[in-house]
């Protein structure tokens, strides 16, 4: 098959730059195909020029310093300090001590060669009570971090909400159960954007509606640990997307021209069981329907009929004006991609059925993290096709591994390398098919506080010894460095 293509045609198909003979390495070649990223006869799969490689973290998972410089308590302080809520009763009191070690951590990124870094801002550092009087010392930490990143050639991408709601807002009105929280979030977002947008050009409003609302307010295994009945719960969902929309509007109103805004959602990614037109079509419908309460209403400005019908009397109460705010146009769409949901076409009213994972389906250290690399193809592709997104970021992808340092101190996390290689191959396939993915943020820069799992599940490229706070690059860090250097997966 390959032999039928001329070198030029093949290069075009692969999306590589035009290949002058100078670009072809002198090493022995036994294939007609060539790429500028050839090593030892291996053809690597190149990403588009200028693709933004990065890593990601979140405030409560890495910062520690929970009582410093006027930070107010968040619902995660309260939750993690409630016995029995987090494995081993772990808390984020110290976490990675990133608040004090951020300069060292920026050097870790620099040594990986990342171009971009996604971090989150702790709302209760900036507004200790959630609203009202701001705390300039809290924002100063992010000023220092942003300056340090830029001084090292790394572009900051800031998330405004990664689950650490100010406790004061939970105490008054029940947090996201209340419209006041949506409003307070908008005000906080505008305040931060006004002050950081001279240097931060990309803001994400909210990280993963589909996680913090469901786990925090319905299932009760994340802060604030509630199990609301359906009516109140659906209203909480509505307030979360409303808060997102108000934040988009506030950022547009207050930020410097050229500031871009989007979100970082853990879209439920439906993958066709077999890549034939009927299953592909079913997976697209399913992706739209199973994200009805979050991404779909944000993109389309309306809840799907099926969602409203199934919620019945428990459907959220909203006005047409709410829907307009929620669907305020975005500059880009961020999706966190971990695991697929397999779907098949059927003759039912909605046209799809979810196929459960068989018991033997492989997963990473976290039992929920099933290995389905095609999620990184279908996720962005569905977003582009369903909603016409023209700028997409993979705002998180990565995995937990059992990570035990070897005698030489290195963690040889071959399973994480396997996971990343497999997923990135599918991401490359998406970019080669013209899906407009502009960047990828690997979760995570370093091991950190993994919410309800405490410190038992490690997602980092760097191993953290929590006794000494020493960071050690794992094998996967070396792998990622090579990917970034070549702009290709190999
Ligand atoms: C992301 O969530 C988060 O944004 C990030 O903070 C986190 O560290 C990272 O992924 C790794 O987990 O306990 O079995 O009910 C990913 C989506 C949704 C996955 C909640 C885990 C809980 C499964 N998460 N889910 S379970």
Decide if pLDDT at 25 tops 70: no
Q: Tell me if 217 sits within 8 A of 177, measured CB to CB.
A: yes
- Of 392, 378, 473, give the one whose Cα is nearest residue 430: 378
**Which atom of ligand 1 is nearest to 264's Cα?**
4
463 to each of 95, 144, 146, 401, how far by Cα in Å? 13, 25, 24, 11
Measured in angstroms, how far is the CA atom of residue 173 from the centroid of ligand 1? Answer: 26
What atom of ligand 1 comes closest to residue 443's alpha carbon? 9
Give pLDDT tens digits for 56-68.
999 999 999 999 9
Contact indicator for 128, 70 with CB cutoff of 8 Å: yes
Across 131-140, average pLDDT: 98
Burial class (CB in 10 A: 0-12, 13-18, 19+), 115: middle
Q: Tell me which residue has its CA closest to atom 14 in ligand 1.
A: 368
Distance 216 CA to ligand 1 centre (A): 12
Question: What per-residue confidence (pLDDT) applies to 356?
Answer: 97
- pLDDT at residue 320 is higher than 60: yes
Closest Cα to atom 20, ligand 1: which residue?
A: 211
Residue 28 has pLDDT above 90, yes or no: no
User: 462 with 446: CB under 8 angstroms?
Assistant: yes
Pocket of ligand 1, candidates 216, 221, 334, 368: which has the most ligand atoms within 8 Å of its Cβ, to mutate? 368
Closest C-alpha to 192, from 147, 250, 128, 133: 250
- Return the bridge partners of 334, or none: 264, 393
Contact 343, 283 (CB under 8 A): yes
CA pair distance 58, 74, nearest whole angstrom: 14
Count of beta carbons in the 10 Å neighbourhood of residue 390: 11
Q: What integer pLDDT is reported at residue 9 of this predicted model?
A: 43
Residue 33: pLDDT over 90: no
Nearest residue to 57 via CA among 474, 460, 394, 471: 460
- CA angle in degrees (0–180, nearest 5) for 437-333-119: 95
Question: How many Cα atoms sit within 13 Å of 39 on the Cβ side?
Answer: 11
Ligand 1 centroid–CA 211 distance in Å is 7
At residue 22, does pLDDT exceed 60? no
Report the C-alpha gap between 455 and 448 in whole angstroms.
7
Our mutation pick for probing the ligand 1 site, out of 227, 365, 443, 459, counting the most ligand atoms within 8 A of Cβ, is 443
- Whose alpha carbon is nearest atom 7 of ligand 1? 450
User: Helix 414-432 and helix 475-486: axis angle, to 10°?
Assistant: 20
Place of tokens 């199990």: 227
How many CA atoms within 13 Å lie on the side-chain side of 437?
Answer: 31
| 254 alpha carbon, distance to own chain's centre | 25
Which atom of ligand 1 is found nearest the CA of 451?
Answer: 8
pLDDT given at position 38: 56
**pLDDT surpasses 60 at 36:** no
Query: What pLDDT digit, counting tens, does each position of 242-262 carry?
Result: 999 999 999 999 999 999 999
What is the C-alpha separation between 303 and 208, in angstroms, rounded?
A: 18
Q: What is the mean pLDDT of the chain?
A: 93
For a mutational test of ligand 1's pocket, the pick from 451, 455, 464, i.e. the residue with the most ligand atoms closer than 8 A to its C-beta, is: 451
Query: Cβ distance 270 to 290 under 8 Å?
Result: yes
Alpha carbons 260 and 257: distance in angstroms, whole number: 9
Nearest CA to ligand 1 atom 12: 450
Q: How far is the CA of 215 from the centre of ligand 1 (A)?
A: 9
pLDDT at 456: 97
Catalytic amino acids? 208, 396
- State the closest ligand 1 atom to the C-alpha of 215, by its place in the atom list counted from 1: 20
Q: Which tokens belong to 222? A: 């994340």
Q: pLDDT digits over 405-457, tens only?
A: 999 999 999 999 999 999 999 999 999 999 999 999 999 999 999 999 999 99
Strand pairing class (437-443; 392-397): parallel
Backbone angles phi, psi at 89, to 5 degrees: 55, 35
Per-residue pLDDT for 166 more than 50?
yes
- pLDDT tens string 91-122: 999 999 999 999 999 999 999 999 999 999 99
Q: How many CB atoms lie within 10 A of CB 179?
A: 16
Please report which helix (H) or strand (E) contains residue 76, including its range. Answer: helix 75-80
- Residue, of 38 and 152, whose pLDDT is higher: 152
pLDDT computed for residue 12 by the predictor: 44
In this prediction, residue 43 carries a pLDDT of 82
Pocket test for ligand 1, best of 90, 164, 266, 334 (most atoms within 8 A of CB): 266
The band of 32, judged by pLDDT with boundaries at 50, 70 and 90, is: very low
Rounded mean pLDDT, 372-378: 98
Assign 42 a pLDDT band (cuts: 50, 70, 90). Answer: confident
The CA 64 to ligand 1 mean position distance, Å, reads 20
φ, ψ at 69 (rounded to 5°): 50, 35
Please give the average per-residue pLDDT across 462-489, as a whole number.
Answer: 98
Residue nearest to ligand 1 atom 2, measured at CA:
211
Which residue in the block uniquely carries the two structure tokens 């009929």? 305
310: which residues sit within 8 A by CB, 6+ positions away? none
3-state SS assignment for residue 426 = helix
Alpha helix (H) residue ranges in 225-319: 230-254, 277-290, 297-300, 305-311
The span from the first CA to the last CA of the chain, in angstroms, equals: 21
Please tell me the least confidently modeled range out of 6-10, 39-43, 172-176, 464-468: 6-10
The protein residue with its alpha carbon nearest to ligand 1, atom 23, reads: 368
Q: Pocket residues for ligand 1 (CB within 6 Å)?
A: 58, 61, 207-208, 211, 215, 221, 266, 336, 338, 368, 396, 443, 450, 452, 459
Q: What whole-number percentage of the chain has pLDDT above 70?
A: 92
- Alpha carbon of 18 to ligand 1 centroid (Å): 41
């Amino acid at each position: 098959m390959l032999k039928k293509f001329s070198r030029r045609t093949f290069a075009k198909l692969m999306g590589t730059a035009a290949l002058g003979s100078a670009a072809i390495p002198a090493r022995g070649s036994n294939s007609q195909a060539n790429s500028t990223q050839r090593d030892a006869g291996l053809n690597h799969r190149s990403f588009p020029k200028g693709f933004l490689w990065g890593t990601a973290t979140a405030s409560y998972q890495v910062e520690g310093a929970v009582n410093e410089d006027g930070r107010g308590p968040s619902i995660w302080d309260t939750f993690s300090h409630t016995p029995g809520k987090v494995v081993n009763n772990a808390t984020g009191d110290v976490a990675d001590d990133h608040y004090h070690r951020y300069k060292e951590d920026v050097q870790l990124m620099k040594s990986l060669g990342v171009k971009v870094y996604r971090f989150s801002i702790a709302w209760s550092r900036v507004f200790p009570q959630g609203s009202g009087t701001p705390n300039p010392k809290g924002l100063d930490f992010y000023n220092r971090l942003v300056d340090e990143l830029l001084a090292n050639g790394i572009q900051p991408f800031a998330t405004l909400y990664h689950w650490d709601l100010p406790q004061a807002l939970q105490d008054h009105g029940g947090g996201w159960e209340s419209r006041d929280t949506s409003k307070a979030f908008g005000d906080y977002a505008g305040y931060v954007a006004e002050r950081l947008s001279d240097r931060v050009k990309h803001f994400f409003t909210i990280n993963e509606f589909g996680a913090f609302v469901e786990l925090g307010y319905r299932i009760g295994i994340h802060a604030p640990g509630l199990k609301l009945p359906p009516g109140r719960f659906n209203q909480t969902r509505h307030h979360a997307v409303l808060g997102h929309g108000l934040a988009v509007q506030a950022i547009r109103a207050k930020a410097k021209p050229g500031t871009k805004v989007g979100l970082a959602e853990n879209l439920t990614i439906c993958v066709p069981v077999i890549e034939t037109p009927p299953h592909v079509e079913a997976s697209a419908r399913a992706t739209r329907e199973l994200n009805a309460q979050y991404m779909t209403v944000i993109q389309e400005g309306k809840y799907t009929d099926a969602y409203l019908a199934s919620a019945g009397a428990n459907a959220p109460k909203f006005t047409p004006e709410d829907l307009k705010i929620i669907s305020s146009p975005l500059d880009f769409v961020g999706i966190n991609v971990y695991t697929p949901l397999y779907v098949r076409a059927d003759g039912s009213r909605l046209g799809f059925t979810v196929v459960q994972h068989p018991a033997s389906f492989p997963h990473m250290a976290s039992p929920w993290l099933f290995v389905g690399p095609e999620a990184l193809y279908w996720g962005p592709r569905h977003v582009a096709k369903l909603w016409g997104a023209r700028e997409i970021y993979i705002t998180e992808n990565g995995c937990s591994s059992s990570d035990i340092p070897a005698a030489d101190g290195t963690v040889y996390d071959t399973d994480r390398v396997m996971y990343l290689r497999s997923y990135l191959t599918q991401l490359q396939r998406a970019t080669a098919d013209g899906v407009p993915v502009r960047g990828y943020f690997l979760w995570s820069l370093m091991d950190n506080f993994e919410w309800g799992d405490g410190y038992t599940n490690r997602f980092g490229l760097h191993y953290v010894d929590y006794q000494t706070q020493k960071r050690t690059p794992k094998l996967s860090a070396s792998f990622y460095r090579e990917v970034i250097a070549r702009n290709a997966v190999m």
